[in-house]
Chains A and B, each alone.
Chain A
Amino acid sequence: MDEDLHDLVVTVNGNSYARRVESRLLLSDFLRHELRLAGTHVGCEHGVCGACTVQLDGVPVRSCLLFAVQMNGKSITTVEGLAPAADRLHVLQEAMHAHHGLQCGYCTPGILMTMSAFLEDCPDPDEEQVREALSGNLCRCTGYQHIVDAVLTAAARLKETPV
């Protein structure tokens, strides 16, 4: 069978990309190897670990369960697009740093893309709500406690000075 190729135009982190892709190319592979945005990580390719989470039109989704070809005309944000400027970090990134919310850092981009969207949806969460929102992202290093602390701190800071 000849490759099933499709043209696609997708916006990632505000930049427009036009590419020709095979239909079965996973979005996770497209971002990492075609666009060289390797911040999004692959942990399982069966939709469980959450490491590949990106925001599709602002909504966190598993990029390993989407085909790049489905993204024609869509807008995606990856971890490379989370910080508001080159010399500034997102409040959540800063909080993760302050609380030692990452060790090996492999699950971290997926958690940032999940929880930054969560904080917009739920600006004043309690610990239980944070843990629920985080439960779709596996971390093997931290035991989650410092991540939870970071999200709660970020929530408090965002309330004071909304982005």
Chain B
Amino acid sequence: MTTRYFGEPIKRNEDRRLLTGQALFVDDVELPGLLHVALLRSQVAHARIKSIDVSAALARKGVVAVYTAEDLGAYWQPGPLLVPPPPIAGIVFNQRTQVPLAKDKVRHVGEPIAIVVAESRYIAEDALADIAVALEELPPVVDLEKALEKGGSLVHEDVRSNVSAHVRQAKGDYAKAAAKADRIIRRRFHYDHGMSSPMETRGVVAQWDARAGQLTIWDTTQAPVFVRNGLAAMLGLSERQVRVVAPFVGGGFGPKIMVFYPEEVLLPWIAIKLNRPVKWIEDRLEHFVATTHERGQIHDAEIALSRDGKIIGIKDVFLHDAGAYDPYGLTVPINSQCTLLGPYVVPNYDSTFTAVFTNKPIVSPYRGAGRQHGVFVIERLLDFAARELGIDRAEIRRRNLIPADAFPYNNEIIYQDFAPLEYDSGNYEPVLDKALAAIDYAHFVKHEQPKLRAQGRHVGIAVSCYVEGTGIGPYEGARVQVQANGKVSLATGIGTQGQGHFTSFAQIVADQLGVDVRDVDVVTGDTDQFYWGAGTFASRGAVVAGNAVNEASKVVREKILKQASEYFECAIEDLELGDGQASIVGVPGKSVRLGELATRANPMRGAVKPGTEPGLESTQYFGPPKGATANGVHAMVIEVDPDTLMLKILKYVVVHDCGTVINPLILAGQIHGGVAQGIGNAYYEELMFNEEGQLLNASLADYLLPTSLEVPRMQLDHTVTPSPLNPMGIKGAGEAGAIPVGPLFAQAIEDALGLAEKKVELCEIPLSPNKLWRLLSGTGG
């Protein structure tokens, strides 16, 4: 079977609608009689609710209803635990999940207290000021270490501490091995990741058709199937009665897969109660406190090495900010714990974390999902080790890389998919080599840098490595069907937030069935079109759904060939597919269009043989036993103005291995976007909470997203080490660009400013000119 599309930089099927402003996003949904919703959110981080008086709001012209927790009755319940604690011995986990509206207590700024339904969003916001809430403020839990002190304020009184979880994982015997080390290096690291800030905030529209008994929900969610199942159960409806549509979604990056947000639970209930459609669109100000973050960890880490820089072991104890509730279980800190090991041989590892409840918004995965934190720790420890041992930074990494013949490589500890962390395949040294060559590392360090330094220019170079677990289960499915008009329809349960599924999946189908990629019509994120699935997260769309698409396409291909062989009364081996037809090889004119075969497969008379199905259609599922491991190396050259401490990226290189590549154009876009977010995380974006748990920079004017002037042109390259875990050999790529950027900045800035000689070390992310100033002037940090 010749591949015409797979691996090619095919332009996207979905572009035209997006470019002409014709694509449907949730706020574009207009319905007759639509009502609008605004939520009254707590302005304080921690308080007991004494009373809520909504009477003035109800009296306002244009307000239709106002609800509090009490009005929800038995419908009010804490949300489900999305990811139970993994099967790790001795684990402590205190499940406390978020509620639709605060009852008794508010636990973070932004937590909803009441919901107003009105004729317009403008009036609904007017009515918020009418609601009188009496709160008894409590001391807020903000600092992670103070949160664990005895006798302090408790986010959840019934937990009797602020511990959300405590987990220890180990392999080998660190204590014993470290005793024989030539060098042990210990540091404390602070890593804060920030928030996803997609250009489209969240939104929900709910419409209840009482006569049809049908509930339709448009939701910016990354997990429409899960939302459908959960809401049906909560509302006492059958799943068949609920349709969840995630239409075009303006960026997801993780927080849109958190369920259930209060608004997702409230809007359908209101739509049914009032028998009118309702819409809630999150505004940007709300987004800062109403959508999940991925924030900070404090690591006390040590690395034990031999004098030639080989890692003997690593020990790490860290605190993780969970936020006010922990519905997403331990995914983020487990990822930190596992991803810390990187592409390196770490024979002994002892990692313990405590996830801490705080009076801040919930923490759930955001592009990288905790991997950044772990990668920062190991990459920085290796940098400090290199310095102390007198070994080049790239060289110390090379010496510790897992060799190419060691795969599958079992790191033993448990990963976010509950399986032991086993790297399926990889060949790390060529990736490092390519990156070093692309950034011209040796030449820069030996010649360029000294020359530029002599001119008074403060330039620095850095390299960082990472491994990323991707493509985890449980499964996804796809249905492929040839239509009577010869076009092919594909439906899958995951949603799309810009990753190009409408094209990459179409490429797979088009190659299998021999049709034009533009003739494959793809539907994602509509539970009426496809019933089963988990969602778009953890860099798994291409791997898991992509493979399901491939399996379904293969079955349809066989059906086509069988139909065609009956049509021509020839052997299947004599047939080929191409140009939307089945043809007898070498016999011109002997072709039949797929549409005609589809019609023949769905007769109006006669009989369909028992054991067969009408049409040319197949639904298949794919569930990988464990995740596929991608890896990469980033390298960067920067220049720092030593007086202003302003920074400019002169060169940025990414070499990446995500196995078999479906569409290199789409892949490049994913890498660029990930790096841009990584740059934001490393140097621009910082969630500034004060001691009261107030977010001080809750606006895009002060939470600084990188613009076209902060993100450089990048040079990309890749290697291909296919995954043995799926037939197409694909590994995930969505999060890769964002993962190793923090340590890259720290390393490069230290190099540019000669911080080693000044005895200044960069052990925190995000950095900024002001933070560098503090460290250099000794005024803090």
A residues near B (Cβ < 8 Å) are 22, 24-25, 32-33, 36-46, 48-49, 51, 78-80, 82-83, 89, 93, 96-98, 100, 102-109, 112, 127, 130-132, 134-148
Q: Is B11 an interface residue (CB 8 A)?
A: yes
CB nearest to B702 among chain A residues: A48
* Given A24-B122, A135-B709, 7 other A-B residues pairs in contact with their CB atoms under 8 A: A49-B199, A89-B16, A100-B665, A100-B668, A103-B499, A140-B677, A147-B708
A22 contact set on B, CB distance < 8 A: 122
- Which are the 7 A-B pairs with shortest beta-carbon distances? A39-B21, A106-B250, A104-B498, A105-B18, A143-B672, A103-B498, A143-B676
- Select one of B19, B498, B709, B713 contacting A93, CB under 8 A: B19
Q: Is B283 an interface residue (CB 8 A)?
A: yes
CA distance A128 to B677 in the complex (A): 21
Q: Is the CB of A104 within 8 A of B676?
A: no
Q: Is the CB of B700 within 8 A of A104?
A: no
A36 contact set on B, CB distance < 8 A: 30
B197 contact set on A, CB distance < 8 A: 140
Q: Is the CB of A141 within 8 A of B708?
A: no
Q: Is B669 an interface residue (CB 8 A)?
A: yes
Which residues, 661 to 692 on B, are CB-close (under 8 Å) to A? 665-666, 668-669, 671-677
CB nearest to A131 among chain B residues: B708
Q: Is the CB of A45 within 8 A of B283?
A: yes
CA distance A80 to B707 in the complex (A): 25
Q: Is the CB of B251 within 8 A of A106?
A: yes
Given A43-B199, A100-B12: A79 in contact with B708 (beta carbons within 8 A)? no
- Select one of B15, B196, B199, B284 contacting A45, CB under 8 A: B284
CA distance A50 to B28 in the complex (A): 18
CA distance A45 to B699 in the complex (A): 10
Q: Is B198 an interface residue (CB 8 A)?
A: yes
Instruction: Output the least CB separation between A49 and chain B (Å).
Output: 6
Instruction: Output the least CB separation between B335 and chain A (Å).
Output: 21
Given A48-B700, A142-B673: A89 in contact with B19 (beta carbons within 8 A)? yes
Q: Is B612 an interface residue (CB 8 A)?
A: no
Given A97-B11, A106-B199, A106-B251: A140 in contact with B705 (beta carbons within 8 A)? yes
A41 contact set on B, CB distance < 8 A: 25, 199-200, 250
17 pairs, CB–CB < 8 Å, chain A vs chain B: A38-B24, A51-B199, A79-B20, A96-B15, A97-B19, A100-B668, A102-B15, A103-B673, A104-B199, A104-B251, A104-B497, A105-B19, A106-B250, A142-B672, A145-B672, A145-B713, A148-B708
Q: Is B714 an interface residue (CB 8 A)?
A: yes
CA distance A130 to B713 in the complex (A): 13
B18 contact set on A, CB distance < 8 A: 102, 105, 108
CB nearest to A136 among chain B residues: B707
Q: Is B27 an interface residue (CB 8 A)?
A: yes
Instruction: Output the least CB separation between A108 and chain B (Å).
Output: 6
CB nearest to A98 among chain B residues: B11
B201 contact set on A, CB distance < 8 A: 43
Chain B interface: which size bin? 35 or more
Q: Is the CB of B198 within 8 A of A106?
A: yes
Q: Is the CB of B200 within 8 A of A43?
A: yes
Q: Is the CB of A108 within 8 A of B707?
A: no
A138 contact set on B, CB distance < 8 A: 199, 700, 705, 707
B24 contact set on A, CB distance < 8 A: 38
CA distance A45 to B251 in the complex (A): 18
Given A37-B21, A96-B15, A102-B15: A48 in contact with B701 (beta carbons within 8 A)? yes
A131 contact set on B, CB distance < 8 A: 708-709
A32 contact set on B, CB distance < 8 A: 27-28
B210 contact set on A, CB distance < 8 A: none
- Select one of A25, A108, A136, A144 contacting B676, CB under 8 A: A144
B residues near A (Cβ < 8 Å) are 9, 11-12, 14-16, 18-25, 27-28, 30, 122, 196-201, 248-251, 253, 281, 283-284, 497-500, 665-666, 668-669, 671-677, 699-701, 705, 707-709, 711, 713-714, 737
A48 contact set on B, CB distance < 8 A: 699-701
Q: Is the CB of A46 within 8 A of B700?
A: yes
- Select one of B20, B248, B251, B714 contacting A140, CB under 8 A: B251
Most chain A CB neighbours (cut-off 10 Å) among B28, B199, B713 = B199
B21 contact set on A, CB distance < 8 A: 37-40, 78-80, 109
- Select one of A45, A104, A145, A146 contacting B250, CB under 8 A: A104
B23 contact set on A, CB distance < 8 A: 105
Instruction: Output the least CB separation between A111 and chain B (Å).
Output: 10
CA distance A42 to B708 in the complex (A): 20
Q: Is the CB of A44 within 8 A of B711?
A: no
Instruction: Output the least CB separation between B289 and chain A (Å).
Output: 15
Q: Is the CB of A146 within 8 A of B198?
A: no
Q: Is the CB of B20 within 8 A of A39?
A: yes
CB nearest to A2 among chain B residues: B61
- Select one of B11, B196, B711 contacting A143, CB under 8 A: B711
B196 contact set on A, CB distance < 8 A: 140
Q: Is the CB of A39 within 8 A of B22?
A: yes
Instruction: Output the least CB separation between B256 and chain A (Å).
Output: 11
CB nearest to B18 among chain A residues: A105
Q: Is the CB of B12 within 8 A of A49?
A: no
Instruction: Output the least CB separation between A30 and chain B (Å).
Output: 12
Q: Is the CB of B20 within 8 A of A146?
A: no
CA distance A19 to B673 in the complex (A): 41
B666 contact set on A, CB distance < 8 A: 100
- Select one of A109, A136, A144 contacting B711, CB under 8 A: A144
B675 contact set on A, CB distance < 8 A: 143
CA distance A42 to B249 in the complex (A): 13
CA distance A104 to B27 in the complex (A): 15
Instruction: Output the least CB separation between A145 and chain B (Å).
Output: 5
B16 contact set on A, CB distance < 8 A: 89, 97
CA distance A145 to B428 in the complex (A): 27
Given A41-B199, A78-B21: A46 in contact with B708 (beta carbons within 8 A)? no
A108 contact set on B, CB distance < 8 A: 18-19
Q: Is the CB of B251 within 8 A of A135?
A: no
A148 contact set on B, CB distance < 8 A: 708, 713
CB nearest to A83 among chain B residues: B20
CB nearest to A46 among chain B residues: B699
Q: Is the CB of B708 within 8 A of A134?
A: yes
CA distance A22 to B119 in the complex (A): 13
Most chain B CB neighbours (cut-off 10 Å) among A32, A33, A127, A141 = A141
Q: Is the CB of A38 within 8 A of B28?
A: yes
CA distance A136 to B671 in the complex (A): 22
CA distance A32 to B121 in the complex (A): 14
CA distance A46 to B122 in the complex (A): 16
CA distance A97 to B665 in the complex (A): 11
CA distance A68 to B483 in the complex (A): 46
A106 contact set on B, CB distance < 8 A: 25, 198-200, 250-251
- Select one of B19, B30, B673, B707 contacting A96, CB under 8 A: B19
B253 contact set on A, CB distance < 8 A: 140
- Select one of B122, B284, B669, B700 contacting A100, CB under 8 A: B669
CB nearest to B29 among chain A residues: A38
Q: Is the CB of B198 within 8 A of A140?
A: yes
CA distance A45 to B122 in the complex (A): 13
A46 contact set on B, CB distance < 8 A: 284, 699-701
CA distance A98 to B24 in the complex (A): 22
Q: Is the CB of A80 within 8 A of B20?
A: yes
B27 contact set on A, CB distance < 8 A: 32, 38, 42
CB nearest to B503 among chain A residues: A100
CB nearest to A40 among chain B residues: B21
CA distance A55 to B699 in the complex (A): 25
CA distance A103 to B734 in the complex (A): 12
CA distance A41 to B26 in the complex (A): 11
B500 contact set on A, CB distance < 8 A: 103
Instruction: Output the least CB separation between B566 and chain A (Å).
Output: 40
CA distance A21 to B88 in the complex (A): 61
A82 contact set on B, CB distance < 8 A: 20
- Select one of A43, A83, A104 contacting B284, CB under 8 A: A43
A103 contact set on B, CB distance < 8 A: 251, 498-500, 669, 673
Instruction: Output the least CB separation between A120 and chain B (Å).
Output: 18
